[in-house]
Amino acid sequence: MEEARFADQVAIVTGGADGIGKAITRRLAEEGVRVTIFDVSVANAEATAGELAEAGLRVGVEIVDIADENAVHSGIESVTGQHGKLDIMINCAAIVGPTSTKITEVTTEEFDLETAINLRGTFLMTKFALLAMEKNDYGRILNFASIAGKEGNAGMSPYSATKAGVIGLVKSAGKEYAETGITVNAVAPAVIRTPMVEGVDPAQVKYMTDKIPMKRCGTLDEIAALSCWAVSPEASFCTGFTFDLTGGRAVY
């Protein structure tokens, strides 16, 4: 039954070479989706594609900087040119930026870089995915926000601001396409145990984990399960919404 829900579907997963994106890519591929990874790292993308190939899973690779409009446009055109359509776009690519850093110590350059990737990148991936999906009047878009976008994390003002922007963008785009066969949603995780989190100041991770009633990080399997449901035909009455994956921290 799981394979049937994604029969003959085509997906793009940004940041698909590592962490959350990699876990989602694997699960979609296991369920029969033809997935193309968008990533900026040639080495990571090829390594992930090779690892999945050894498991009998074929995934494509496009080297795309999601902050670059031309790269996003041509990357999506490459996928639709090869497969004839785009059914699913999951945008996981992001950077954490400064942590344990007061806003007065954040440089404008740091803020601008985070905005370019986390917010402009989300805008560009959503815009061009929608243009591709309009042709078949079907699609599922899932952007990654964060609990930081709902509540704000002290010491992470650029990240919190950009993820709040993702939530607002999803609300707006979801409403714009509500009368079509295309949905636009987001996921707002708390701390998920990924390589990206491993590189964050342990004090910052403790600050975030202490706020979670379950008192633990989320797992990659948990986030892949929710994400794959949200981009399936089963999630047909959900749009403009940000799904909680926070172990009880967010209750709205």
Query: Does residue 3 surpass a pLDDT of 90?
Result: no
Query: Is residue 78 included in any domain, yes or no?
Result: yes
Q: Where residue 147 sits, what CATH number does that domain have?
A: 3.40.50.720
**Per-residue pLDDT reduced to its tens digit, 94-130:** 999 998 999 999 999 999 999 999 999 999 999 999 9
Nearest CA-CA partner of 12 in 57, 112, 102, 79? 79
Do 20 and 92 form a contact (C-beta atoms < 8 A)? yes
Q: Model pTM?
A: 0.94
Percent of residues, the chain, with pLDDT higher than 70: 98
Task: Look at 196 and 117; give whichever has higher pLDDT.
Answer: 117
- The whole-number pLDDT of residue 1 equals 41
Average pLDDT over residues 37-66: 96
- The whole-number pLDDT of residue 54 equals 97
Query: Is residue 141 included in any domain, yes or no?
Result: yes
Q: Tell me which residues are annotated as active site.
A: 159
Query: Is residue 212 included in any domain, yes or no?
Result: yes
Q: Is the backbone of residue 123 left (phi > 0), alpha (psi -120 to 50) or beta? A: alpha
Please state the domain count of the chain. 1
Residue-range definition of the domain harbouring residue 241: 4-245
Query: Is residue 168 included in any domain, yes or no?
Result: yes
Structure tokens at 88: 């699913």
Give residue 2's pLDDT band: very low, low, confident or very high (50, 70, 90).
very low
The residue to which tokens 């699960």 are assigned: 27
Query: Is residue 251 included in any domain, yes or no?
Result: no
Query: Is residue 250 included in any domain, yes or no?
Result: no
End-to-end, the C-alpha distance of the chain in Å comes to 31
Query: Is residue 252 included in any domain, yes or no?
Result: no
Query: Is residue 19 included in any domain, yes or no?
Result: yes
Do 192 and 219 form a contact (C-beta atoms < 8 A)? yes
Average pLDDT, the chain: 94
Give residue 196's pLDDT band: very low, low, confident or very high (50, 70, 90).
low
Distance separating alpha carbons of residues 153 and 161, to the nearest angstrom: 10
